[in-house]
Structure formats: structure tokens, C-alpha cells
Amino acid sequence: MNSEETEIYKVKTGTFEGPFHLLLSLIEERKFFINDLSLAQVTEDYLNYVSKIEKQNPSEISSFIVVAATLILIKSKSLLPNLNLSSEEESDIHNLEDRLKLYELYTRLAGKIKNIFGKKIIFAPLERKNEFLVFLPDEQITKESMMTFAHNAIDKIPKKEFLPKVEVKKVISIEEIISKLTERIENTLQMNFKDFAGAGKTKEEKVVVIISFLAMLELVRQGLLHAIQESNFEDIIIKKNSENSKISEPSPSES
């Protein structure tokens, strides 16, 4: 990026109120009209901007991403004219154009509002002060009734709700199980899944079975194990894959 482009980027990365604001600015900068041709051309800049703000404001990004999806669709169609779009996709594209035009309309109107706001004000009459204040207690106000009113008011104050707290139990790490399994398979040529994973009678044991299964699948994926099951519901026989003896680091994941 040469220095002129960085200059333009500096000006552009002021905060944009939303995806339409950004999109409209990109289009108006180039003095385009709103149509699928111009939208296709600004798609790249739009995506660049979105990836920039993604790091800063991940929470506000969702509306930007929805629009990005449609822009990519438009760009794809412009690059591949023979691309067949579903009717839903076509309507998404028209929708975006229409909405952007609608947004542009209200942006223009907002400019007109800005021009007249606070310039020529119509003032309402000031509140008149009473000459003298008179305290006129109602018959209903007695010592007893005041206590009742006060009690009622206090009862109506919302009470703080205490949410029950639960301690999060320690999780079983899938990395641990993968290590265990690789260790065992290193030393034996084959073993039964049931021996490794356990019977799985209690709830905790069932979790171990599930994690062990996942660990086994991961190691099969890495090419370290063969898993064989003779027929449905039979035990699974795990064999070391002698063709590939390198064992890689398990990928970080917790279950």
C-alpha cells in the first residue's frame, strides 16, 4: 500500500455506524450509483474494513457480517456471470440494494433535519410559580394510614435476587486421554476398546468412555491407529499402525 492509500484508509477507519453507513460511504466516495455493479466493486474494501474492526469490536460485527455475505454473493455473480443463484439469493441481493437506497434516503433527510435543528426554536410557556404555597393535607392522611402507605411503598421495592451458584466441575481433558491411549498402544500391539475405556456403568464412567472414543478417533485420523470392529455392537480392536510410527502432539481441545 503506497502512502496515498494509507492516507485514505486513515480517513475511512473513523467509526462507521453500521454496515449500511460503511457501504454507502464506500459507494459515494467513488461517486457510484447503487447497483450490483458498484456493490461488487466495493466488496473488497468493505471486507478489508470489516476484518480490521473485527479485532476491535467483535460484538458489534454481526450486522456487518450479514451484509458481507450478500456482497460476496454479488461479487461472485459479477465474476461468474453464468453462476446460477437461487431465488432466495436473488432476493437477498435485491433486498440489499433496496435497503441501501432506503438508508440513503434517510441519510439525506437526516442532513436536512440537522440543518434546522436548534436554529429557530419554538418555545413553550414557562411554568408559572404560585404566589404562595399552601399545605392542604387530605382527610385520608392520618398517622395510621401514613404507616400503611409507607409499608406498601417499601414492599413494592424490588428485591435483589440471588442466583444460586454452582461450582463448575473439573473437566476431563481429551489431551490427557489421547496421551494415555498413545502410551498404551506404544507398548502393546493391540488392545480392546472396552479394556481401555472401561465398562461405563456410572455417569462418570460413561464420560470416560465417550472421551476415550473421541481420543481413539483422533488417533485413527492421525494415522497412528487402526480400529476394527467385526460386526455391529462388537468390541472395537485397536491396533498400532506400524506404517507410521511418528506421534504428533494432540491438538488443544477440552471436553
Partner 1 sequence: MNLEQKIEAILFFKGEPITRKKLSEFLEIGQVEINESIEKLKESLKNRGIVLQEKSARPDSHSDGENEITLGTSPELSDLIEKLQKEELDKELSKASLETLSIILYKNGVGRSLIDYIRGVNSSFTLRMLSVRGLIEKSIDLTDSRRYIYKPTFQLLSFLGVKSVEELPDYALINGSIESASQNLAEELKNEKENETSI
Tell me which residues touch partner 1 (CB under 8 A).
17-21, 63, 67, 95, 98-99, 101-103, 105-107, 109-114, 116-125, 127-128
For partner 1, give the closer residue by CB, 83 or 110.
110
Shortest distance, CB of residue 148 to partner 1, whole angstroms? 32
For partner 1, give the closer residue by CB, 97 or 175.
97
Instruction: Determine the Cα–Cα distance for residues 198 and 231; give it in Å rounded to an integer.
Output: 20
| HEC-encoded secondary structure of 8-59 | HHHHHCCCCCCHHHHHHHHHHHCCCCCCHHHHHHHHHHHHHHHHHHHHHCHH
Shortest distance, CB of residue 21 to partner 1, whole angstroms? 8
Shortest distance, CB of residue 118 to partner 1, whole angstroms? 3
Question: How far does Cα 120 stand from its chain's mean position?
Answer: 45
For partner 1, give the closer residue by CB, 19 or 250.
19
The single-letter code of the amino acid at 186 is E
Q: What are the beta bridge partners of residue 240?
A: 225
For partner 1, give the closer residue by CB, 87 or 187.
87
Instruction: Determine the Cα–Cα distance for residues 99 and 92; give it in Å rounded to an integer.
Output: 10
Residue 175, all three cell numbers: 489431551
Shortest distance, CB of residue 116 to partner 1, whole angstroms? 5
For partner 1, give the closer residue by CB, 107 or 222.
107
Instruction: Determine the Cα–Cα distance for residues 153 and 149; give it in Å rounded to an integer.
Output: 6
Shortest distance, CB of residue 49 to partner 1, whole angstroms? 15
